[in-house]
Homo-oligomer: A and B are copies of this chain.
């Protein structure tokens, strides 16, 4: 829902003068009270203003701007993606674990000249370290999930697509693939990145 300029102005007047009667709001705007009736009804129904009989209008919500489906779910993932932590395919499992802890991430992308070859998760590494794998010799290419078996995102997909894929495929991280060259990885959208987006939007609304 898009507020009109007049509705935004009314909210401002109420915030500065609460409690304030409809008559006085009308005076501030040099308009008649009947002209404002629909605006005041809308602002009250949406919970932005609160009206108390014989007292006047109050600013009711912390939520000045209404929650928008577009902002929450339909933004492009390019607005929230982060740089991936990458590793070479010749690196050992031991190297990978060290890198995982150094960067405090859950997933490493195995690349060669920015081309995505596969990904390695904490779970893959744990499976290797618990078994008798020679972690100082075996290269990550041996244990990675290999393309094209990796679930990826196109750079023009939406945040809802990212969240849906993460939940559906029970994965932690989605490599973002270039639209121009579908071999190249240009970013990462993890479970944390998507969740942080939803929480940031809420904190922003509560400000």
Contact = CB atoms under 8 A, between A and B. Distances in A.
B167 A199 contact: yes
Given A164-B199, A195-B163, A195-B167, A126 B104 contact: no
Interface string A122-141: 11011101100001000000
Contacts of A164: 199, 203
Interface in A170-207: 170, 191-192, 194-196, 198-199, 202-203, 205
Tell me how many chains of this kind the complex includes. 2
B130 A97 contact: yes
Interface stretch (A8-16, A23-31, A65-73, A78-86): A65-73
A104 B170 contact: yes
A55 interface: no
A17 interface: no
29 contacts: A1-B47, A38-B38, A42-B42, A46-B46, A63-B69, A66-B66, A66-B67, A67-B67, A67-B69, A69-B202, A72-B72, A72-B198, A72-B202, A73-B202, A97-B126, A101-B127, A104-B170, A122-B123, A160-B199, A160-B202, A163-B199, A163-B202, A167-B192, A167-B195, A167-B196, A170-B192, A191-B192, A194-B195, A198-B198
